[in-house]
Amino acid sequence: MWLYLAAVLVGLYLLWRWHRERQMVPRLSEKYVLITGCDSGFGNLLARQLDARGLRVLAACLTETGAARLRAAASPRLQTVLLDVTSSRSIAAATAWVRECVGDRGLWGLVNNAGTAVPSGPNEWLTKDDFVKVLDVNLVGLIEVTLSLLPLVRQARGRVVNVASVMGRISFFGGGYCISKFGVEAFSDSLRREMRPFGVRVSIIEPGTFRTRMTDPTTVVKGFKHLWERLPAETQAAYGHHYLETYAKSIALLHPVSSSRLSRVTGVMAHALLARFPRSRYAAGWDAQLVFLPLSYCPAWLADATIGLFLPVPAGGTRARP
């Protein structure tokens, strides 16, 4: 009897949650949303999808070419602005432009999507500047953009959507990328608690592996080889040339099995922006939900052993054991 009662209660909870999450905010045509990183990938697709739903999209692009291409694919409602999230001057100019666009309505949504993963590789192969290059875009730039636009979001009692990654839960490789995503998680958590009394909701998006320009194997392997070529001979000897080749092959094999359905990510982004009751976190992609997130809750020895199966063995080392 208790088993049946538990099943009924679980069913009722899932039905209630399904109904709750289907409720959307009204008057979409009056809402302004700024999205960073709209030249390609998730940001580009989300901008076009929200534009098709009637929202007033303000798309921030890094290049004029990307901005022109996006305008050609969208309605006249969509507006673009050039934004380099690593430049305080560029952020200030974009903020002034947004303030002029939204007027007294405020900014309903801010989607911090701009990001980079290059350079990435074994930590020993990298310099401080390599880490800073990624952190400036993925974390420091995200923070400065958010702080600059937060008064406008607060005015509208709107939403902040920060794109992190499952690599912000468990680090699979060295460099600034995973570090930056851990930082995005921490910043978003504190911001969510601080903004709740103002009616502002903050959500974190945690995508798995998807086929975007950032994950293109040619670009990734090229960057990895560049790191190898600048290493001292002693370090190259410690790792061995086979380490480079094996790593490059593993990256090339990962790309075909990653998802090409970017809408899995933009769909949860849209829900975070438009649902009356958005979630605090969204995991996007089967690998994020079934592999990476469960692995992040495992004991360290088990996570290390699992990830270690996919890492090459250096010439001067042995296969790590738990």
3-state class of 201 per DSSP? strand
User: What residues are annotated to the active site?
Assistant: 177
Query: Which residue type, as a one-letter code, is found at position 208?
Result: G
- Whole-number Å distance between alpha carbons of 103 and 152: 9
- DSSP per-residue codes, 258-307: SB--THHHHHHHHHHHHBSS--SEEEESHHIIIIIHHHHTS-HHHHHHHH
Report the length, in residues, of the chain: 322
For 9, the token pair is 């209660």
Can you say whether the dihedral through the CA atoms of 225, 171, 212, 201 is positive or negative?
Answer: negative
Number of H helices, E strands in the chain: 14, 7
Tokens read off for 26: 């009204």
Rounded to 5°, angle at Cα 220 from 187 and 125 = 75
Q: Cα separation of 136 and 138, whole Å?
A: 6
Alpha carbon distance 317, 237 (integer Å): 11
